[in-house]
């Protein structure tokens, strides 16, 4: 067995690291604790404190009972909205990014590097800059304040990232594979479907996790392009805190935040190791 050593320098390092970790985790702890405390308890004591009684009712209220902007349905319909936006936008942007990455990395055509450059330029444009153009587009095609509109925005904005990741992954695929398939008589889509896609699971997992997390947590588009019943949960949470501004409902609010964060946390817990593995996955041999 290894001997435990208590060198002073090591103790100091652990002390500092623990303090930083505690500082970083403190807000989460406060939110988790508050989600189990009743309103009176928080009002009488303070925002920070251990629950005297574990109040599960906050979660029930946040989920389906609480009133947001005059409708008393909790955050359930908004969670559904988020799912209806996030799931299709994640799938479509990942598939399109895979096809686009495959095209720019494994096929030569005039202007291919320009197209790739322009697509990935989208990564560097600030989100606020895109708001106005998107408003005009969504208005003109009649998709403002619809979930379909949000799916469209997230799909297209997601393409920069998904194309970048897939292209870099496919860059390691030997070109001779494509040449062999072309001589065998396979076309663009058959090669993608039969040869490239079956090699792609590591990178598809990475892009799906990334896209899901980002679209689910996205706030600005949601709050700008939708109102009322059409909002995703991130935007609805703000409406919730506005609604309870007069009478603070920190318990319900905390529970709502935690419910809203749950899907991405689950994705992280179950997919995180694939994410890291996928990021470091190299050549396809």
Partner 1 sequence: MSALTVRDLTKKFGPVEVLKGIDLEIGTGEFIVLVGPSGCGKSTLLNIIAGLERQSSGMIEIGGRVVNDVAPKDRDIAMVFQSYALYPSMTVRQNITFGMECRHEPKSKQDAAVADVARLLQIERLLGRKPSQLSGGQRQRVAIGRALVRNPLLFLFDEPLSNLDAKLRVEMRMEIKRLHQRIGATIVYVTHDQIEAMTMATRIAVMHRGQVQQFADPDTVYRYPANLFVARFMGSPPMNTMRARLEAGNGGPVAVIGAGRPDEVRIHLQRYDAAASFVDREVVFGIRPECIAESSRMFTGAAPIIVSAPVEMVEPTGAETIVLLRLGGEAAMARITPDLRPTPGACADFALDTRRICLFDPETERLIT
The contact set with partner 1 (CB under 8 A) reads 174, 176-177, 179-186, 190, 194-195, 198-199, 284-285
By the 10 Å C-beta count (0-12 exposed, 13-18 middle, 19+ buried), 199 is classed as: middle
- Assign 71 to helix, strand or coil: strand
Nearest distance in Å: CB 119, partner 1: 25
Give which of 195, 198, 127 is closest to 158, Cα–Cα. Answer: 127
**For 35-146, where are the alpha helices, taking DSSP H only?**
39-44, 57-60, 76-106, 112-121, 127-140
- Phi, psi (rounded to 5 degrees) for 200: -95, -5
Of 156 and 181, nearer to partner 1 (C-beta) is 181
Of 24 and 109, nearer to partner 1 (C-beta) is 109
Nearest distance in Å: CB 176, partner 1: 4
Of 138 and 173, nearer to partner 1 (C-beta) is 173
Nearest distance in Å: CB 103, partner 1: 17
What is the rounded distance in angstroms from the CA atom of residue 12 to the CA atom of residue 266? 34
What is the rounded distance in angstroms from the CA atom of residue 138 to the CA atom of residue 135? 5
The two three-digit tokens of residue 62, written as one number: 């946040």
Residue written as token pair 């600005």: 220
- What does the angle CA 166 – CA 274 – CA 22 come to, to the nearest 5 degrees? 120
Nearest distance in Å: CB 91, partner 1: 21
What is the rounded distance in angstroms from the CA atom of residue 164 to the CA atom of residue 279? 12
What is the rounded distance in angstroms from the CA atom of residue 110 to the CA atom of residue 3? 64
Nearest distance in Å: CB 281, partner 1: 13
Of 184 and 272, nearer to partner 1 (C-beta) is 184
Nearest distance in Å: CB 105, partner 1: 16
Nearest distance in Å: CB 156, partner 1: 30
Residue 202 burial (CB count, 10 A): 17
Of 10 and 179, nearer to partner 1 (C-beta) is 179
Of 75 and 178, nearer to partner 1 (C-beta) is 178
Of 181 and 279, nearer to partner 1 (C-beta) is 181
């Amino acid at each position: 067995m290894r001997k435990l050593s208590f060198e002073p320098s090591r103790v100091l390092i652990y002390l500092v690291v623990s303090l930083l970790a505690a500082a970083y985790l403190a807000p989460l702890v406060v939110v988790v604790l508050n989600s189990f405390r009743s309103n009176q308890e928080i009002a009488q004591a303070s925002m920070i404190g251990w629950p005297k009684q574990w109040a599960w009712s906050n979660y029930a209220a946040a989920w389906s009972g609480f009133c947001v902007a005059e409708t008393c349905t909790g955050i359930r319909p908004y969670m559904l909205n988020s799912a209806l936006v996030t799931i299709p936008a994640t799938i479509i942007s990942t598939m399109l990014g895979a096809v686009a990455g495959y095209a720019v990395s494994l096929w030569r055509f005039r202007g291919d590097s320009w197209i790739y450059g322009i697509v990935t330029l989208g990564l560097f444009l600030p989100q606020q800059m895109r708001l106005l153009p998107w408003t005009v587009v969504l208005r003109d095609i009649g998709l403002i304040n619809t979930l379909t509109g949000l799916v469209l925005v997230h799909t297209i904005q997601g393409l920069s990232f998904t194309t970048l990741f897939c292209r870099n992954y496919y860059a390691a695929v030997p070109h001779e594979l494509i040449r062999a398939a072309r001589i065998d008589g396979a076309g663009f889509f058959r090669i993608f479907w039969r040869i490239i896609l079956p090699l792609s699971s590591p990178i598809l997992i990475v892009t799906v996790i990334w896209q899901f997390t980002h679209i689910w947590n996205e706030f600005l588009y949601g709050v700008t392009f939708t109102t009322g019943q059409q909002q995703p949960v991130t935007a609805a949470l703000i409406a919730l805190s506005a609604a309870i501004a007069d009478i603070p409902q920190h318990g319900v609010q905390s529970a709502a935040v935690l419910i809203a964060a749950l899907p991405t946390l689950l994705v992280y817990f179950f997919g995180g190791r694939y994410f890291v593995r996928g990021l470091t996955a190299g050549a396809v041999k």
